[in-house]
A and B are shown apart, each in its own frame.
Chain A
Amino acid sequence: GAGVSQSPSNKVTEKGKDVELRCDPISGHTALYWYRQRLGQGLEFLIYFQGNSAPDKSGLPSDRFSAERTGESVSTLTIQRTQQEDSAVYLCASSLYEGLAEAFFGQGTRLTVV
């Protein structure tokens, strides 16, 4: 596709369940970012992948959150034992390489934990 694709677009889950959110970056983009955006708030950095380097996980809020990336393609953000405070829009972005300021965002996955 031409842009960053995220799936699902919406996810409602019960408290305590695990969820997986998927991101397909723009082909050829080596850098990939995950952010969390609560309603009416800014973008909270979660994790950053750059090529084959070890990811920067400094923004993950707890050990319930993890993310993987297969080479320079798909990434999956996993939230285990979801809590109500995990409800937010999860945004993925990619950029051509680490040194580039411009990142392209997907539409996000709206997660609601009930």
Chain B
Amino acid sequence: GESVGLHLPTLSVQEGDNSIINCAYSNSASDYFIWYKQESGKGPQFIIDIRSNMDKRQGQRVTVLLNKTVKHLSLQIAATQPGDSAVYFCADRQGGKLIFGQGTELSVKP
């Protein structure tokens, strides 16, 4: 079936640098795209979402970009901190249910 997938399984960045996590999706009918953060041993935590009729949305230190032409979603984290180390999942909403991609593990080096 249609799914959301990620380009890279791991990403290592220096503390203070910006991080960019990418995601490809295949379901053109999705109306929401969402980013979740999962720390070790915990359930995923909502970060930010974007409607399919938008191309950019900003939150606190995070920006999500949506390119519907190439079906690509990205999460940008400004001034990455050690506390940002986690696995990041993109997800899309399909008929009410949330479908998740495989995840990218972000590691922040001090």
Contacts and interface: CB of A to CB of B under 8 A. Distances in A.
Given A41-B102, A101-B32, A101-B49, A56 B43 contact: no
A41 B99 CA distance: 13
Given A42-B89, A101-B32, A102-B49, A48 B43 contact: no
A108 B97 contact: no
Interface string B78-95: 000000000001010101
Contacts of B42: 107
Interface in A67-114: 91, 93, 98, 101-108
Interface residues of A, number: 24
Nearest to A6: B43
Interface of B: 32, 34, 41-46, 49, 89, 91, 93, 95-103
Given A31-B96, A45-B99, A91-B44, 12 more contacts: A4-B43, A33-B97, A42-B103, A48-B96, A48-B97, A56-B95, A56-B97, A59-B97, A91-B43, A101-B32, A101-B49, A107-B42
Interface of A: 4, 31, 33, 35, 41-45, 48, 50, 56, 59, 91, 93, 98, 101-108
